[in-house]
Amino acid sequence: MNRSLPERLDVARPVAITGANGFVGRRTVGTFLALGTRVRAICRTEAGVDMVPSGADSRVVGDIDTHTDWSGVLENVNTVVHLAARVHVMNDHASDPLALYREVNVNGTVQLARAAAEVGVRRFVFVSSIKANGEATAETPFSESSVPAPVDPYGISKLEAEQALHAIAAETGLEVVVLRPPLIYGPGVGANFRRLLNAVSRGVPLPFGAIENRRSLLFVGNMVNALVQCVEHPSAAGETFLVSDGPSVSSAELVTEISYALGRRPRLLRISPALLDAVGRVTGRRAAVQRLVGSLEVDSSRIRKVLDWTPPYSMREGLLETADWWRTVERS
């Protein structure tokens, strides 16, 4: 069980969790079950149900979009935690990617929220993304007072979903809570973080030694802990929170910490950011390079103040748990 949580959670009716079979969803379901809360685990397919921790009431709804039928699925539910989304895709080759993101992340969310309000759901916790704020920070970290300026279709769709939810809340009284996390890591992580684990584990030299950027991250255990607070805390209603592990790190520091967790010696090459940017231009991967060398920093002080929340895991502890999982992956 996550640290700094009560032995039981005083939620009389079930909590419905969409995306229950996903990376964050599985840990969220397991945590609520451990707290003695009944969970309605919502999956897109029957195959997804097999990945959900045992003890949940699993339901299959198909694609989450404008046409999803929620009748019966939300019956007697107290709170919805909406994790399911069309996730950020690198090099999306769809002819109209924004339309695809909107159909799932905006229209699908609206369909779910309206169905929830109609059957008397009390609270709707929406997992958005720091991409709703933008792609990068300069001197000042993103905070709740920052003017959102999303750049890519994913970030645009997440911000539009937030705005639609607040409109529904004003109309129906549904309590909406929004969380904007940065990159989430932990056991089961995929995509770029998984590739980074693999590279560090194999001793691949990485060209980040001269990078002095600042990036915020969020361990999945801290993410789920924050979700629990957003479900139960009275002061969360109507709020938008940016959430992170706390202190940000440079790409070089992150590689060093991952190396420590894996019991490896960090192998960092000192290559100038300008040269890396030039390589990105030539190879057509400038956006990917910018994500590695640029800064994306989050100020999570508001959730700490309003909800009296403290991340139960340090980044080092989160990386050690992630490394333990990675060793089992390598052995399998």
Helix, strand or coil for residue 199? helix
DSSP string, 72-118: TTTTT-SEEEE-------TT---SSHHHHHIIIIIIIHHHHHHHHHH
Let me know if 181 is exposed, middle or buried by CB neighbors in 10 A (0-12, 13-18, 19+).
buried
Is 154 one of the catalytic residues?
yes
HSE value, Cβ hemisphere, 13 Å, CA-based, for 331: 6
Q: Which residues pair with 42 in a beta bridge?
A: 18, 59
C-alpha 75/C-alpha 195 separation (Å) is 41
Closest among 320, 326, 122, 130 to 236, alpha carbons compared: 122
Among residues 101, 154, 185, 313, the one annotated as catalytic is: 154
Residue 309 near residue 232, CB atoms below 8 Å: no
Radius of gyration of the chain (CA): 20
Residue 102 phi, psi (nearest 5): -65, -40
Buried b / exposed e over 257-283, threshold 16 CB at 10 Å, is bbbbbbeeebebeebebeebeeebeee
Residue 186 near residue 322, CB atoms below 8 Å: yes
C-alpha 25/C-alpha 31 separation (Å) is 10
Residue 242 phi, psi (nearest 5): -95, 140
Say how many Å lie between the first and final Cα of the chain, rounded.
Answer: 25
* Angle at the Cα of 68 from the Cα atoms of 66 and 72, rounded to 5 degrees: 140
- Please identify every residue annotated as catalytic: 154
